[in-house]
Amino acid sequence: MKKILSVLLTLLLLAACAPAEKKETNTIIQSTDPADYDMLVPFDASPIRYNHGIYLGDVDLMDIGSRLQDHAKTAFPVAGNYLAEGQILTITRANNLLNREGTDNPYGLNPPKGSLFETGVGNTTILDAVLVADIMEIDFYSKTDQTQLSGIALAIVFNQTIDVNGTSVTITDAKLSDYAQTAGRKLERYLRTISGLENINIYMALYTTQKIDSTLPGHYFSQAIFTAREGQFSPLDEEWVFFPSASALSKDVQNSTVFNTLRSAIVAFTPESIGTVGEGLYIDGELSTLKITVNMQAKTYTEVYALAQTIVTLLDNFNHAKYDIIVKIESNFSTVALIHLNIDDTLTIVMTD
């Protein structure tokens, strides 16, 4: 009897360590966009979902996930893979990875206790720097066999600006990149120690946050695909830019000019326009997505409707054949209208009230 119990315990431990398999009763939710992933349901929430948001602002949380999903398409094509929430990183695994490296935690991604991190700015160093803020994971299952994990994609999130005794200290891009790539390779080595992941394809992207009070998300700056334990990081050129600003004007004169024209027209249209701002995502120097928020104090539905129609006509001044435009109209802290102009010239207007 003892021998049987021992065998059963061994089998249970092996099952607990192995990557989760999807049940054969999965249902497929097809994406409304053929360029995006179909999902497997039932949906299993991430075991580390409560870790996310502790050290990150809301603006980063959504950007990290959506951009990771887009980037992962290079490793896991939409045509051959289903998307699922990450299940490999448990709370214990994630916490160990996010802790400091030490003799009892060799795969810790943060610098050892008592170490000084060189920022790359003169002789400035940071004692006990916390560089790795979070890790996010999404999983993929093959469309030819949806019960088996075909690959995983991970984002390692780094703090580039750290508060030191009330002063913000920013690490140079070069120093952060060197450390981040080393951390990424260490994470890949750790994942290979997990049963079932020895030879699985792994996509990894490195993300840097803005200051915690920033209105803009951070950005990805490097990526790698690890196949059969081989992989090298390559740079990514991404940047979020605020409109109107000197940065936007110096980076993109044409779209800055058109945005300012839109902004002036909205001020002229509504007697109580509080403000219009925009956020543009640039990839390889080209505008990829433009999000515009219009704040007003609406007194009638007709005001909101008329402003939405006016904005639609003004959007034709943008070169929207190259990027999507999303406009959110808010009144008294509530969203009253949404406008979405796709790159394929498809227009959607939703009046929320």
Contact 156, 190 (CB under 8 A): no
Per-residue confidence (pLDDT) for residue 60, from 0 to 100: 82
Number of H helices, E strands in the chain: 7, 18
pLDDT-derived band at 22 (thresholds 50, 70, 90) equals low
pLDDT at 8 (0 to 100) = 37
Nearest to 171 by CA among 237, 238, 218: 218
Identity of the residue numbered 19: P
Predicted confidence band of residue 40 (pLDDT cuts 50, 70, 90): confident
Whole-number Å distance between alpha carbons of 236 and 225: 13
* Residue % of the chain over a pLDDT of 90: 71
Whether residue 306 has pLDDT greater than 90 = yes
In this structure, the number of other CB atoms found within 10 A of the CB of residue 164 comes to 13
Of 109, 52, 64, 9, the C-alpha closest to 206 is 64
State the average pLDDT for the chain: 89
CB 180 within 8 A of CB 187: no
Give 108-160 pLDDT, tens digit per residue: 999 999 999 999 999 999 999 999 999 999 999 999 988 889 999 999 999 99
Sign of the torsion angle spanned by Cα atoms 248, 249, 250, 255:
positive
At residue 3 the predicted structure's pLDDT band, cuts being 50, 70 and 90, is very low
d(CA 319, CA 312): 13
Task: Please list the helix, strand and coil fractions of the chain in percent, rounded to the nearest 5, in that order.
Answer: 30, 35, 35
Which domains does the chain show, CATH number per domain?
20-236 (3.10.570.10), 240-351 (3.30.300.190)
Nearest Cα neighbor of 220 from 232, 231, 233, 236 is: 236
Residue 353 and residue 333 in contact, taking contact as beta carbons nearer than 8 Å: no
If pLDDT is split at 50, 70 and 90, which confidence band does 55 have?
A: low
Give the count of beta carbons closer than 10 Å to the beta carbon of residue 256.
21
pLDDT attached to residue 23: 53
